[in-house]
Amino acid sequence: MELVITEIKNRVGYVVLNRPEKRNALSPQLVGELTAAIQNLLHDDAVKVIVLKSADKPFCAGADLEYLQELRHFSREENLADSRRLRDLFDLIHRGNKVFISQVEGPALAGGCGLATLCDFCYATPEATFGYTESKIGFVPALVAVYLQYRIAGHHMRELLLTGKVIAAEEAHALGLVNKVVSDDHIAQEVSAFAEQLCDTVSGGSVSYIKQLLRKLPGMHMDEALEYAASLNAEVRSSADCVKGIDSFLNKEKIKW
C-alpha cells in the first residue's frame, strides 16, 4: 500500500498521508515518500498550491514509537542521519516556493503537529487537536521548536512545549497555530476553494519572493532588514510576473495567473 497518495486538480497538488493503521506515524518510509512527493510537486510547473491532508481522520501521531525503540540501538551518527531526514522534510515545506496548506481533521501531535503548523496555512475541523507531546515520553520537540517560533513565540510557545498539553482546534486558532476552523462537512470543499482562489489571484513569483522575505527578516537588525527589502524590491520590479501584473492593471485587463 502506498503510504502517500498524490493528486493534481485545478493546479492544486494534494498530498495525502495514507498510513491509517498507525495514525500516519512518521516512519522512515513515510518520511521518504512524503519528501519525494513534495519534491515532485515543487518541481511541477502545473502546480501552484500544495495541500497536505490525511486519508483518515487522524492527521499524524508524530514519530513512530516502534521505530524509536529501534533507534536506541543506533549509533549517534545513525541517529543524527535519521533526524536530518526529518529535518529535510520539514525544511522542504518551510522553504518551498509554493503555498502549503494543511487540512487537519483529527489529532496532529508531536512531529505531526509540527508538520501541520509549519505549512503557510492550517485549516482544521472542531474535532482536530494539536499538541507538542514529546515531553510526556521523555523526548524533546527540538526540530518542531525551530519552526514553531515562526508561528507563535514567547510564553505560549514555552507553555505548549514544556507541558506537552493537547489543545482543541479553537484554542489553537486563538493562539495563531490554526488559520481557520471549519466544520467536518465543509473543510475539504473550503480548503480546495481557497487553494484554487490562490492559484487564480496570486502571482507565483510573488509567493516565492514573499516566503523568502518572511524567512530572512527574523533575526535581522533594522538597517540590515531595510537594505535587504530595498534590494528585493529592486530585483522584483523587473521580474516577469511584476511586468505582467502592472501592464495588465494599467490596461484594465484581468490578470491570469
| Active-site amino acid positions | 134
Cβ 102 vs Cβ 116: under 8 Å: yes
Residue 232 has φ and ψ, to the nearest 5°, of -65, -45
Q: How far apart are the C-alpha atoms of 177 and 157, rounded to whole Å? A: 10
Cβ 248 vs Cβ 254: under 8 Å: yes
Cβ 63 vs Cβ 123: under 8 Å: no
* Other beta carbons within 10 Å of 95: 11
Q: Which of 37, 11, 41 is nearest to 198 (CA)?
A: 11
Q: How far apart are the C-alpha atoms of 163 and 75, rounded to whole Å? A: 29
Cell of 117: 503548523
Q: How far apart are the C-alpha atoms of 142 and 158, rounded to whole Å? A: 12
Three-state DSSP class for residue 151: coil
Residue type at position 81: A
Cell of 102: 494543511
Q: How far apart are the C-alpha atoms of 145 and 137, rounded to whole Å? A: 17
Cell of 15: 498530498
Q: How far apart are the C-alpha atoms of 20 and 59, rounded to whole Å? A: 9
